[in-house]
Structure formats: C-alpha cells, structure tokens
A and B are shown apart, each in its own frame.
Chain A
Amino acid sequence: MKRRKDREMERQIRSILNQAEMEEGDWGRPEEGRKQETLAFLRAQRRKIRLRPRKSFAERLLDQASWLSPGVWLGQLAVPVLFCLLLGNEGLEKRDTLLVLSACAPLPGVIGLIELLRSWQSGMWELEEACRYHLQQIQGMRLLVLGIADSAGTAVVFAAGLLNGYSAGMLLLFFLFPLLVSDSVFLLLAGVFRRGAKGLVPVLAGLGMGIFWIYQASWLLDVLDMLHVLESYRSLPVLAALLFGGLGLLAFACARFLNETGKEEQRLWNCA
C-alpha cells in the first residue's frame, strides 16, 4: 500500500515537473532581441574559425588509392593475369615456365617503383612535402596500397600455380622470393633512381633484375634437377628462411625508403 502511494506520489511529481517544463511561458526564455544579437555575433565568430578536422587512416588510404595513376591499376591487374596464363600454358615445359616466371617477377616492383618516384620526377614533391599529410605519409600510404595490391596478385598467382600442379615450394622459390628481393632492391636504390632520368631508370632496373633472376633460376633448376626434387622441393626450414628473409628484407627496405623520403635536405642544395 505504501509502495503504491510512493509510486503515485512520484508520478505526480514527475507530472508536475514535466508540466512545469511545458508551461514555462517566458520563464527561462531569452529576450528575442538579445538572442538575435548573440546569434549574429556567434555567426561572425564562426566565419573566422578555421576548422581542420583530421581524416582517419582508412580515409587517407582510400584517398591515396584513388589518386594512384590508372596505369598502376592496369598493371596490377594485367601482371597476375599474365602469370596465370603463363602457369596455365600447357604448351610450355614446367622448367621453362619457372624460368619465365622468375624473369617476370620484378614486374610488379617496376610498376610500383614508377608510381613511387612520380612525386620527384614530376616536381610535385615540394608541394606535397608542405601539405598536412606530407610526402612521407603519402609515400607510406602508396607503399601500403601497392603492397596490398601486390599481395592480392601474389595470392592469385599462387592459386593459379597450385591449380596447375606447381607446388607452393616451387612458387616460392621461382616467383615470391624473386618478387620480394626485387621490390627490396628497388626501394633501397630509390634514392639513386630519384635523381635519374624519368621513367626509364626503373624499367632498366627491372630488366636488369629480370636477367639476374633468369640466371639464378636456371642454376637453381639445375641443382634441383640434380637432386631429383624439381617437382617437389619441400625443405621447410629453407623455404621458411627464404620467405621470412624476403619479407624481412622488404620491411627493412620500406622503412629505409620512408626514412629517406623524410630527409629531403640530403639532396637539396639551394643558395637562393
């Protein structure tokens, strides 16, 4: 009984207070003239403020991805398709396929390198460096986007290779490892390439790496053939060492590239 009375009282209080809130009339209301004066003042102040909201990491990543040149996306699409066709080509011997695969492994790296060097080769670097999300961040984002695209391409190539009877070990030895090492070399030498001729230098570097990998692959194929493990090389420690070694080298090369990007003054000599 008491509790019902308490609840009833509480409802009454609530209703009185709620009704008071509705019936307030002029109480608590500002004078219209004063209010408009204040609002006008605040509108003037609002026009003076410079709001600089921060973009999230994902927004900036998507931004950079949208600004990569169309050629990069075409290349990123075309290269895995090329590899898939190569791996699926029954007219070629497996040995020859692996040689060509190694020779072409630097291709994604060349495409990426050309994109990464654009800022310097076009002369945009100085404008980009003075922006809020400056050159080091831009290059970091580009590396990440290209890395994601390359990883997706690699996954597609692996899938195609496995479906066509190539072992994961073979694909690692003749495709992934050369790809990782080529990318690392390009990034480590990017500082040198920056000062070089437009566009041609990365292509020549790619050719050079391609020739290197042909020789390397040819030698490796002979060795594996000799050991009778050409189709089924499975030494996990070696493969793991190559994989993690390659990834480690790439991570180091990326860090060094970004670090050097932030030290533009090393190459600037300006007495003006």
Chain B
Amino acid sequence: MKDGRAREEWKDSELTARIQRGETEYLDLLIERHYDGIFRFCLCKTGDREAAYDCAQETFLHLLRYLEAYTEQKKFKAWLYRIASNVCMDYFRKEARAPAGEDALETLWKEDAGFEQIEHRELVGTALNQLSENQRETIVLYFFHGFKLREIAEITDAKMSTVKSRFRQGMEKLKAYMEKESGERREQDR
C-alpha cells in the first residue's frame, strides 16, 4: 500500500482491499467519494430530488450490507452504480411509477441554471430528451459519470452489443438533433 500519498488519493481498489481486510473505517471515505455521483445518477433516473436522496441513501446502505460479497473482479464504481440502478428500479416498482419522463431532465436542468447557462443547458437538455430512456442512461453514464461501455453493460445488466447499439443510436439521434438545430439557427440568423 502506497502510504506516502494522502488517503483521498487512494484508488477505489486500494480502499476496498483495506475494507475487506476489516479496516471498515475506510468505508466513510469511499461513500463520501461517490455520494455526489450516485445522487446525480439517481436524480437522472427518478427525476425527483427527494426520491434521489432516498435512493442514494438506500444505495449506500446496500453497499454496507453487501460489501463482503464484492470481489475485485468487478470494478467497484460499476458495481456501486449497478446497485443504484437496482435501487431506483425498486423505487419505481414501489411507487408504481414509470422512470423519469422525457421532460424531467430538461426541467431539472433549467431549475438550477443561471441565466447565462440556460441557452447551453437548454440545448443539451432538449438534445438528451430526444433519446429513449435507455439511450439517455447510456449517454449520461458515458459522458457524465465516465464509465466505459463495458461497465455500462454491467450497471444496466445489458449485453455489450445492446449497450453499443444504444450508444450509437443515442449519438445518431443527438447528431440529427444538432444538425436540425444548427440548420434552424442559420435560418434565423438570415
């Protein structure tokens, strides 16, 4: 273990190895590190801030309960987001709700944006809303959470080919939307 670096610089794999040797105090660091990301992910999935708080907390409670079952063959972050995904699905089942609708993301984005950011945000928000829920989830996990496609397949419990297809289709839809938008803007400028 590279003790010369600060604990905050230790990789997830180093922390989980220590935790699994019984040094459970490092769980606090791991939770703090991933809390914001998990919250944002739950927010994207549920479209509701209160639900996102609940789902994020539940995700980490699951982590505490099932950490013994975690093996280093899976990347920790992907494993954690998989838990979050399942927790959100359980939330929908319990609430008898559908996953966040098309407008949810756009609405959420606009709520928190400053005036100067609205235009940009609008573009991204409405662009993402062109996608299906699965495509949007894939794009969000890829760009906003930094996951590789293989990891996204683990998180969403889908085949690699399915994820690649969702990503490709998502990017094509975004491309089509961007082309249309830039075409319309050129028209307006004239």
Residues of A within 8 A of B (CB): 6, 9-10, 12-14, 16-21, 23, 25-30, 34-35, 38-39, 41-43, 45-46, 49, 51-54
Contacts and interface: CB of A to CB of B under 8 A. Distances in A.
Interface in B48-81: 52-53, 56-57, 60-61, 64-65, 67-68
Contacts of B124: 16-17, 20
Nearest to A45: B64
Nearest to A51: B24
A45 B112 contact: no
Contacts of B67: 51
25 contacts: A9-B178, A14-B143, A16-B120, A19-B120, A20-B121, A20-B143, A21-B143, A23-B120, A27-B108, A27-B113, A27-B121, A30-B36, A30-B52, A34-B53, A39-B32, A41-B57, A42-B31, A42-B57, A43-B28, A46-B28, A49-B64, A51-B19, A53-B20, A53-B22, A53-B68
A192 B146 CA distance: 65
B53 A38 contact: yes
Nearest to A50: B24
A60 to B, nearest CB: 14
Nearest to B39: A30
Interface string B155-189: 00000000000000001001100110000000000
B152 interface: no
A49 B114 contact: no
A42 B61 contact: yes
Contacts of B35: 30, 35, 38-39
- Please classify the interface of chain A as helix (H, G, I), strand (E, B), loop, or mixed, using the class held by over half of its residues: helix
Given A16-B123, A20-B121, A35-B36, 7 more contacts: A6-B175, A13-B178, A16-B178, A20-B144, A23-B120, A29-B40, A46-B24
Interface of B: 19-22, 24-25, 27-28, 31-32, 35-36, 39-40, 43-44, 52-53, 56-57, 60-61, 64-65, 67-68, 108-109, 111-114, 117, 120-121, 123-124, 127, 139, 143-144, 171, 174-175, 178-179
B27 A46 contact: yes
A19 B120 CA distance: 10
Contact of A13 (B44, B144, B174): B174
Contacts, number: 104
A20 to B, nearest CB: 4
- Please classify the interface of chain B as helix (H, G, I), strand (E, B), loop, or mixed, using the class held by over half of its residues: helix
A211 to B, nearest CB: 51
A18 B143 contact: yes
Contacts of A53: 20-22, 68
A127 B124 CA distance: 65
Given A16-B123, A30-B35, A42-B57, A25 B114 contact: yes
Contacts of A25: 112-114, 117
A9 B31 CA distance: 37
Contacts of A46: 24-25, 27-28, 31, 64
Top 6 closest pairs, chain A to chain B, by CB: A28-B40, A27-B112, A17-B143, A20-B124, A26-B112, A53-B20
Contacts of B21: 53
A9 B179 contact: yes
A21 B175 CA distance: 18
A41 B57 CA distance: 9
Nearest to B175: A9
Contacts of A21: 143-144
